[in-house]
Amino acid sequence: MKSESGESESAITIFRETRGLLLGFCGVCMFGATLPMTRVAVLDFDPLAMTAIRAAVGGLVAALVLILARARPPERRLWPKLLYVAVTVCTGFQLTSAMGSVTVPSAHGGVVLGLLPLCTALAATLWSGERPSLGFWLCSLVGAAVIIAYALRQGAGGLSVGDFWLLGTVLCASTGYVASAELARVMPGWTVISWALVINLAAALPAAVWLWPDTLAAVSLRGWSAFFYLSVVSQYFAFFIWNAALAMGGTARVAQIQFLQTFVTIGFAALLAGEAIDAPTVLTALAVLGLVLLSRRFRVAGGAQKS
């Protein structure tokens, strides 16, 4: 029979995990608009120039926030991991997704990024010492299989150059998320992405100056709107919520919510590009949601959490 303290601790853990999942869903909604917005932006911006300029804008906003908050610099031992986050999340993710968006529709990209939860869980297992149970892995694998089947049915199964870029996006995001989650356990989540973006300024500012386009006057209002969303929301503020979610709910578990990002992306693609959402899309989304909920019943050991 469990003691009252044991039951109380279990209830607190469940509450923290639930809060982490809810925050994770909010983050997924913000990230879900990234590919459609990127697809819109690359119509007016060169992918390389856009990557550099948005990284510079995001870094300057982050620097301003850190100054206003009077945030202290992180401990020296944390800088290598922050540098890794800067390379993968602040530059790698942005560059590979922009290059992929040049050649494939955003809905297609959303399907490929459906592999993110499985890759993030794998990275958390190898790097952070989290140990998902067999049932958890089965839910992840079935979820990935459902998304692949959906891709094949929609005609998105053939690999193109854009697909390889997007697989690079998956690699950057999954490993960068794990590094961010580890840092968010020892420092506030918002400072993780803030300092990573500031570190990234060392490369982003010179690149932005070098690649600065001569055709900015011709950029449409739609293109500017997409650019600022990518620079400020996708690249910065969405990570406030996402890092907190990973730290609260556990990297592998919260990463399962990313299965829904595919369909959030498809929804935004429909709003931006007028793409129809058919019954198989809705049914697949419901199936994936069921797998995410089912995965909560399985244990994920390791990976200390903090509120």
Residue 253: band (very low, low, confident or very high) from pLDDT cuts 50, 70, 90: confident
The answer to whether residue 208 scores a pLDDT higher than 70 is yes
Assign 3-class secondary structure to the chain: CCCHHHHHHHHHHHHHHHHHHHHHHHHHHHHHCHHHHHHHHCCCCCHHHHHHHHHHHHHHHHHHHHHHHCCCCCCHHHHHHHHHHHHHHHHHHHHHHHHHHHHCCHHHHHHHHHHHHHHHHHHHHHHHCCEECHHHHHHHHHHHHHHHHHHHHCCCCCCCHHHHHHHHHHHHHHHHHHHHHHHHCCCCHHHHHHHHHHHHHHHHHHHHHHHCCCCHHHCCHHHHHHHHHHHHHHHHHHHHHHHHHHHHHCHHHHHHHHHHHHHHHHHHHHHHHCCCCCHHHHHHHHHHHHHHHHHCCCCEECCCCCC
Percent of the chain scored above 70 by pLDDT? 85
How is the chain split into domains, by residue range? 20-301
For the stretch 71-127, pLDDT in tens is 999 999 999 999 999 999 999 998 998 898 887 777 777 777 777 877 887 787 777
- pLDDT given for residue 195 in this prediction: 95
Between residues 201 and 143, the one the model is more confident about:
201
pLDDT (tens digit per residue) in 156-191: 555 567 778 988 998 998 899 889 888 988 888 789
- Centre a 10 Å sphere on the Cβ of residue 251 and count the other Cβ atoms it contains: 32
Is residue 152 pLDDT above 70, yes or no? no
**pLDDT of res. 228:** 93
307, pLDDT greater than 50: no
pLDDT at position 306 over 50: no
Average pLDDT over residues 275-296: 74
pLDDT at 305: 43
298 vs 66, more confident: 66
pTM confidence score: 0.78
Q: What's the pLDDT score for residue 14?
A: 65
Q: Provide the pLDDT confidence category of residue 196 given band limits of 50, 70 and 90.
A: very high
pLDDT at 296: 66
What phi and psi values does residue 301 have, to the nearest 5 degrees?
Answer: -90, 155
Q: 233-247 pLDDT, tens per residue?
A: 988 888 888 877 877
Residue closest to 239 by CA, chosen among 161, 176, 175, 155: 176
What one-letter code names the amino acid at 272? L
Average pLDDT of the chain, as a whole number: 81
User: What is the pLDDT averaged over residues 296-307?
Assistant: 54
